[in-house]
């Protein structure tokens, strides 16, 4: 694996055509913002560029591919034979999802902001910025292209969603300067933030009601655990695609240092999302459960069943809280 900088990444992209951009599974605003901003800019340079994702792309991101194509059709990407493949905001090739991981066992280029990146790509353009979209924006600058309003929408979305709208500790002065530039370029920040942060479906609100009823507190109120079961999804009519923000809920409770969200998958296994406040290290806790992530946001799976998995996790959290 070779580390490259933004200017080198731009030179490589300039020299390529028939490019496929891969996002991570369960796509979010940052991975999609990177992919569709790059696609738009490179297409504008006369190249053929498509985006692929193992999972469906939620409708709320439809403004990213512009009004000319109302439905982004991943089918087209499946039938496309690219000459060059890159992954954006993908820390580990596993996160591409089974279909894309099998199809592309070798990834020539990865653009990412996770310091935990496994180095699976031949070339890695990595910076510890708040959002991968910050790096993509710098690459676009190196390409000598002025982003149009739709590209600015894509890049702003990644920055806004990965920082909780400029709330989190990953924000730097550079993050705000880029936001200022993107707004000047025409990013519809108020509409984007409304869709990303303000709008809740009725089914999601019903789910939130059930989840609020499930809160358990541990270790003198320093740890809050919520559990989302398949049954709650069924009762509320909600589903996993609506739950982006729910993992941040338990950490919001006054006094909580570790917020835990346990979400039951269709197969009955549990996905664990951890959110912490300094100095508790979420990635250290999840690493002990076979997972990983960032210092304040990390994830893992329960290897055992719910009761045993929770017991094991709570013991690790207890130790981390005592050491913190």
Contact set with its own copies (CB under 8 A): 160, 165-169, 171-177, 179-181, 183-184, 189-190, 193-194, 197-202, 205-206, 208-209, 212-213, 215, 217, 221, 248, 251-254, 277
Q: How far is CA 205 from CA 200, 232, 281, in A?
A: 7, 12, 30
- Scan for tokens 């369960």, then name that residue: 26
Closer Cβ to its own copies, 188 or 288, answer by number: 188
- Using DSSP, state whether 26 is helix, strand or coil: coil
Closer Cβ to its own copies, 1 or 212, answer by number: 212
CB 29 within 8 Å of CB 157: yes
Q: Which residues pair with 124 in a beta bridge?
A: 3, 110
Tell me the closest approach of the beta carbon of residue 235 to its own copies, in angstroms.
13
Closer Cβ to its own copies, 139 or 211, answer by number: 211
Q: How far is CA 107 from CA 8, 110, 170, in A?
A: 17, 7, 27
Tell me the closest approach of the beta carbon of residue 114 to its own copies, in angstroms.
19
- Scan for tokens 């731009």, then name that residue: 10
- Using DSSP, state whether 321 is helix, strand or coil: helix
Closer Cβ to its own copies, 165 or 314, answer by number: 165
Tokens linked to 272: 């664990």
Q: Which DSSP string corresponds to 274-292?
A: EEE-TT--HHHHHHTTT-E
Tell me the closest approach of the beta carbon of residue 210 to its own copies, in angstroms.
9
Tell me the closest approach of the beta carbon of residue 190 to its own copies, in angstroms.
4
Closer Cβ to its own copies, 63 or 80, answer by number: 63
Closer Cβ to its own copies, 140 or 171, answer by number: 171
258-264 and 223-228: which strand pairing? Answer: parallel
Tell me the closest approach of the beta carbon of residue 201 to its own copies, in angstroms.
5
CB 296 within 8 Å of CB 282: yes
Q: Which residues pair with 299 in a beta bridge?
A: 273, 292
Closer Cβ to its own copies, 80 or 166, answer by number: 166
Tell me the closest approach of the beta carbon of residue 182 to its own copies, in angstroms.
9
Q: What gap in Å lies between CA 303 and CA 148, rounded to an integer?
A: 46
Tell me the closest approach of the beta carbon of residue 313 to its own copies, in angstroms.
21
Tell me the closest approach of the beta carbon of residue 120 to its own copies, in angstroms.
31
Closer Cβ to its own copies, 176 or 318, answer by number: 176
Q: What gap in Å lies between CA 270 and CA 262, rounded to an integer?
A: 6
- Using DSSP, state whether 52 is helix, strand or coil: strand
- Give the list of residues 6+ apart from residue 319 with CB closer than 8 angstroms, or none: none
155-183 burial, b at 16+ Cβ within 10 Å, e below that, comes to: bbbbbbbbbbbeebebbeeebeebbebbe
Tell me the closest approach of the beta carbon of residue 193 to its own copies, in angstroms.
4
Closer Cβ to its own copies, 255 or 290, answer by number: 255
């Amino acid at each position: 694996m070779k580390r490259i900088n933004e200017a080198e990444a731009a030179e490589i992209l300039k020299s390529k055509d028939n490019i496929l951009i891969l996002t991570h599974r369960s796509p979010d605003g940052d991975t999609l913002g990177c992919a569709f901003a790059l696609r738009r800019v490179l297409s504008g340079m006369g190249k053929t560029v498509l985006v692929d994702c193992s999972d469906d792309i939620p409708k709320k991101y439809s403004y990213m591919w512009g009004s000319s194509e109302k439905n982004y059709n991943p089918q087209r990407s499946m039938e496309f034979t690219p000459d060059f493949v890159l992954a954006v905001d993908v820390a580990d090739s596993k996160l591409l999802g089974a279909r894309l991981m099998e199809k592309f066992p070798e990834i020539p280029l990865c653009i990412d902001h996770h310091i935990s990146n496994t180095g699976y790509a031949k070339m890695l353009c990595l910076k510890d910025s708040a959002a991968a979209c910050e790096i993509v924006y710098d690459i676009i600058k190196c390409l000598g292209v002025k982003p149009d309003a739709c590209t600015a929408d894509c890049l702003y979305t990644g920055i806004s969603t990965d920082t909780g709208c400029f709330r989190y500790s990953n924000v730097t002065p550079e993050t705000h300067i880029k936001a200022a530039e993107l707004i000047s370029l025409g990013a519809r920040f108020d509409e984007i933030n409304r869709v990303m942060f303000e709008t809740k479906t009725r089914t999601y609100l019903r789910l939130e009601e059930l989840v609020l009823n499930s809160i358990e507190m541990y270790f003198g109120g320093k740890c809050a655990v919520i559990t989302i079961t398949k049954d709650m999804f069924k009762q509320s009519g909600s589903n996993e695609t609506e739950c982006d923000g729910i993992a941040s809920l338990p950490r919001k409770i006054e006094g909580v240092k570790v917020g835990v969200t346990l979400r039951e998958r269709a197969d009955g296994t549990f996905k664990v999302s951890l959110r912490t406040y300094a100095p508790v290290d979420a990635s250290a806790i999840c690493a002990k459960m076979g997972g990983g992530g960032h210092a304040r946001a990390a994830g893992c799976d329960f290897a055992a069943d719910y009761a045993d998995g929770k017991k094991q996790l709570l013991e690790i959290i207890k130790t981390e809280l005592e050491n913190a």
